A and B are shown apart, each in its own frame.
Chain A
Amino acid sequence: MKVSVSKRALLPMAAAAMVTVLAGCGSQIGSPASAGSTTGTGSSCLDTSGSSVKVGFINSLSGTMAISESTVFDSLTLAAEEINASGGVLGKQLQVISEDGASEPTKFAERAGKLIQQDCTAAVFGGWTSSSRKAMLPVFEANDALLFYPVQYEGLEASKNIFYTGATTNQQIIPALDYLAEQGTKSIFLVGSDYVFPRTANKIIQAYAAAHGMRVVGEEYTPLGSTEFSTIVNKVRDSKADAVFNTLNGDSNVAFFRQYKSVGLNAENMPVVSVSIAEEEVPGVGLDNVEGQLTAWDYYQTLDTPANQKFVAAFKAKFGEARVTSDPMEAAYTSLYLWKAMAEKAGSFEVDKIQAAADGVTFEAPEGLVTVNGENNHITKTPRIGKIDSNGLIDTVWSAPKAVEPDPFLTSYDWAKDLAK
């Protein structure tokens, strides 16, 4: 634990150093608009005198993460167009400035600095990997700006400058475990990619299992992008676990599920619950490899709510009938509307007024009604377990009875006391 604390202390320091450099650069460039005021940290150069207001989108449009993040960019674009078509925010049209994070955390931090200081955007939307968020966090805090982050993540974080519209662990992982326990699962095998999200998630799962009489019969990690699963699948098969909890990321899923299927394991004899396979990923993993397997998210394209029907129809109309919508895309779409609602409640685009107004702001999102929790800047979400159907879409097989309050530090769970330290 000590090691990770010191690591955590190092990261902001490094990033702070970087911000100092960035701020220096900013003042050197010295755009005319900011010539009067100092471009130092904390002061906003937002200009709301015209008929439009600038917002920033920051997504990886190149590099390994482009596959996923470009879909988030698409749904943000859709939300911005819809908002503009219905009169904008506080009477002002949104002017989108898009930056490419290029799948590199340092690039995210640098581009975020540009969006805040040079472009003077009112708020920034995007980011996907935890490392990109962690790199941007000190930039947003030092400049007192706003970031809306739309992806499920490992929790244990709350910044007044970031609104988290994806699920935290108690809205995705813990409900998935509750579901497995309800189904009579006594033993689980954990398989994940070797980076921060799976490791943190599995720590939570271990604590949950210990407290609920579930046995963790194996815990295996492979390097990101690994395609060799013979040994792991042999171990899984030999463990005779009731279920597998899968936190593998990206292409590793293909190799894992193929090997899994080829030794005779399937959704009936050993179901796999995945937390990073959404509608968008199913064709890449191969439908016949994952059909019938389970997923844990808060949103599926098949949800039968009026808001979702409208969202899916609008998305397909704009980007093509073959496209699908997924949880992070929905969370991104929702985030722009939430910011709109916050600005309208505050009657202002100013960061401190929006922060003050955020608590209790609601939006009828495609996943259902979501409410902002002003204490930790997360939102309520409805966890759902889904089953991948023969069309590659995901059907809800279990849903939480009501939206779950966000609890990023898991303070309301007795068994999780030692995790947040």
Chain B
Amino acid sequence: MELLIGQMFAGLSLGSVLLLAALGLSLTFGQMGVINMAHGEFMMAGAYTAFVVQRSVSDAGISLLVSIPVGFLVGGLMGLVLEAVHLRRMYHRPMDTLLVTFGVALILQQVARDVFGAPSVDVRAPAWLQGNVELLGSPIPLTRLFILILSLLCLAALAFLLRGTSLGRRIRAVVLNRDLAESSGISTRRTDQLTFFIGSGLAGIAGVAVTLIGSTSPYLGTNYIVDAFLVVVAGGVGQIKGAVIAAFSLGVLQSALEFSTTASIGKVLILVLIVVFLQLRPQGIFSLKTRSLA
């Protein structure tokens, strides 16, 4: 029983990490069709933001709370620059965005190595996140609980933005039919910029969050980028609710498979499952129905 709860939580926790990493991507890849390989490096930038903030604000608790908005800004601004310099010329060439952003990812990794050094750096977790709470005898790590809550908060904020604000309506309109949206007076340029800013900013927040789990190194992003794309593709491109369901089901499934087999076999099985699933349902869990001709 104790173990079952521990494992359930491990699954949800893994799911929440996947969701955080994939949320921004589902916006930029899903809604805008940009294959942003540098999304992982925006996470890395968020993680180093947490490191830099912690160096200047020595209290780990305050620095974590400050890092989250600052990480959002750093990731968002990097996204904005990438969008302005490269991507806006490539909205009709998704495969080229893959190459360009992959190049940008390599450049960012090298910049991180040159600025912060190749060895990984340590971002301390605040005292109030150390240890665990017992749930029916099973220890629930506080850092993992924090990430779970943070990812749900980000999800709620994004859902509100898309559903409840005029910006969200503009984003959805541009996704559904770019030409029609433009002829209705929506500035697609500005909408693209803002969407990319928010999507990249979410990567920054994810980066701050994962400093609580692992090490902060120039390669941090490469650990998450493939999983993030898997979540977005399995969930159905352009579907936030699909990404949510995909992230949590992948998390729970992977933990269960890892537990009943071994970590390496579990990872293989989950990839096999995704391949089979996409064979049966190439559009993912949800698919976007649009009248757009494109």
Say if the beta carbon of A46 comes within 8 Å of chain B. Answer: no
Structural contact, A67 and B262, CB atoms closer than 8 A: no
Say if the beta carbon of B241 comes within 8 Å of chain A. Answer: no
Structural contact, B217 and A251, CB atoms closer than 8 A: yes
Structural contact, B120 and A284, CB atoms closer than 8 A: yes
Structural contact, B143 and A231, CB atoms closer than 8 A: no
Say if the beta carbon of B13 comes within 8 Å of chain A. Answer: yes
Say if the beta carbon of B3 comes within 8 Å of chain A. Answer: yes
Structural contact, B122 and A228, CB atoms closer than 8 A: no
- Tell me which residues from 203 to 231 in chain B have a Cβ below 8 Å from any Cβ of chain A: 210, 212-215, 217, 219, 222-223
Residues of B within 8 A of A287 (CB): 122
Say if the beta carbon of B255 comes within 8 Å of chain A. Answer: yes
Structural contact, A259 and B215, CB atoms closer than 8 A: no
Structural contact, B132 and A262, CB atoms closer than 8 A: yes
* Listed stretches A158-166, A219-227, A325-333, A359-367; interface member: A219-227
CA distance A237 to B6 in the complex (A): 10
Structural contact, A262 and B10, CB atoms closer than 8 A: no
Say if the beta carbon of B172 comes within 8 Å of chain A. Answer: no
From the candidates B118, B130, B258, name the one contacting A232 in the complex (CB within 8 A).
Answer: B258
* Chain B interfacial residues counted at CB < 8 A: 40
| Known contacts A262-B142, A263-B141, A220 near B122 by CB under 8 Å | no
Structural contact, A232 and B213, CB atoms closer than 8 A: no
Residues of B within 8 A of A223 (CB): 264, 267
Of chain A, the residue at the smallest CB distance from B256 is A231
Structural contact, A234 and B259, CB atoms closer than 8 A: yes
Residues of A within 8 A of B14 (CB): 228, 230
Of the listed residues A221, A231, A259, the one surrounded by the most CB atoms of chain B closer than 10 A to its CB is A231
Residues of B within 8 A of A235 (CB): 259
From the candidates A67, A222, A255, A283, name the one contacting B213 in the complex (CB within 8 A).
Answer: A255
- Tell me which residues from 243 to 294 in chain B have a Cβ below 8 Å from any Cβ of chain A: 255, 258-259, 262-264, 266-267
| Known contacts A258-B143, A258-B214, A262-B143, A234 near B6 by CB under 8 Å | yes
Say if the beta carbon of A40 comes within 8 Å of chain B. Answer: no
Say if the beta carbon of B164 comes within 8 Å of chain A. Answer: no
Say if the beta carbon of B7 comes within 8 Å of chain A. Answer: yes
* Chain A interfacial residues counted at CB < 8 A: 38
| Known contacts A235-B259, A288-B124, A227 near B214 by CB under 8 Å | yes
- The digit string for B114-126, where 1 denotes a CB below 8 A from any CB of A, is 0000111110110
Residues of B within 8 A of A288 (CB): 124
Q: How far is the CB of A193 from chain B (nearest CB, A)?
A: 10
Structural contact, B264 and A194, CB atoms closer than 8 A: yes
CA distance A258 to B124 in the complex (A): 10
- Tell me which residues from 285 to 333 in chain A have a Cβ below 8 Å from any Cβ of chain B: 285-288
Q: How far is the CB of B5 from chain A (nearest CB, A)?
A: 10
Structural contact, A262 and B215, CB atoms closer than 8 A: no
Structural contact, B119 and A67, CB atoms closer than 8 A: yes
Say if the beta carbon of A64 comes within 8 Å of chain B. Answer: yes
Structural contact, A221 and B264, CB atoms closer than 8 A: yes
CA distance A258 to B13 in the complex (A): 15
| Known contacts A234-B10, A254-B120, A264 near B132 by CB under 8 Å | yes
Say if the beta carbon of B144 comes within 8 Å of chain A. Answer: yes
Say if the beta carbon of A22 comes within 8 Å of chain B. Answer: no
Residues of B within 8 A of A221 (CB): 262-264
Say if the beta carbon of A66 comes within 8 Å of chain B. Answer: yes
CA distance A284 to B84 in the complex (A): 36
Structural contact, A254 and B10, CB atoms closer than 8 A: no
Say if the beta carbon of A418 comes within 8 Å of chain B. Answer: no
CA distance A230 to B9 in the complex (A): 9
Structural contact, A234 and B263, CB atoms closer than 8 A: no
CA distance A219 to B263 in the complex (A): 10
Say if the beta carbon of B103 comes within 8 Å of chain A. Answer: no
Of chain B, the residue at the smallest CB distance from A194 is B264
| Known contacts A255-B214, A286-B122, A231 near B130 by CB under 8 Å | no
Say if the beta carbon of A238 comes within 8 Å of chain B. Answer: yes
Structural contact, B215 and A255, CB atoms closer than 8 A: yes
CA distance A222 to B268 in the complex (A): 11
Residues of B within 8 A of A66 (CB): 118
Residues of B within 8 A of A238 (CB): 3, 6
Structural contact, B215 and A284, CB atoms closer than 8 A: yes
- Tell me which residues from 102 to 147 in chain B have a Cβ below 8 Å from any Cβ of chain A: 118-122, 124-125, 130-132, 139, 141-144
CA distance A231 to B14 in the complex (A): 10
- Tell me which residues from 196 to 244 in chain A have a Cβ below 8 Å from any Cβ of chain B: 219-223, 225-228, 230-232, 234-235, 237-238
Structural contact, A227 and B213, CB atoms closer than 8 A: yes
Structural contact, A254 and B215, CB atoms closer than 8 A: yes
Residues of A within 8 A of B7 (CB): 231, 234
Q: How far is the CB of A140 from chain B (nearest CB, A)?
A: 28
Structural contact, B144 and A254, CB atoms closer than 8 A: no
| Known contacts A66-B118, A221-B263, A264 near B139 by CB under 8 Å | yes
CA distance A259 to B264 in the complex (A): 18
Of chain A, the residue at the smallest CB distance from B10 is A230
From the candidates A64, A228, A251, A280, name the one contacting B215 in the complex (CB within 8 A).
Answer: A251
Residues of B within 8 A of A283 (CB): 119, 122
Structural contact, A227 and B132, CB atoms closer than 8 A: no
Of chain A, the residue at the smallest CB distance from B125 is A258
CA distance A237 to B3 in the complex (A): 9
CA distance A16 to B18 in the complex (A): 44
Residues of A within 8 A of B121 (CB): 284
From the candidates A225, A231, A261, name the one contacting B258 in the complex (CB within 8 A).
Answer: A231
A-B contact pairs, 11 of them (CB 8 A): A194-B264, A220-B262, A221-B263, A226-B263, A227-B214, A228-B14, A231-B10, A234-B259, A251-B214, A287-B122, A288-B124
Which residues of A pack against B, CB within 8 Å? 64, 66-67, 70, 194, 219-223, 225-228, 230-232, 234-235, 237-238, 251-252, 254-255, 258-259, 261-264, 280, 283-288
Which residues of B pack against A, CB within 8 Å? 3, 6-7, 9-10, 13-14, 17, 118-122, 124-125, 130-132, 139, 141-144, 210, 212-215, 217, 219, 222-223, 255, 258-259, 262-264, 266-267
The 4 closest A-B pairs by CB, nearest first: A227-B214, A230-B10, A262-B141, A254-B215
Given A222-B263, A227-B210, 7 other A-B residues pairs in contact with their CB atoms under 8 A: A230-B144, A255-B213, A258-B125, A258-B143, A284-B119, A286-B124, A288-B124
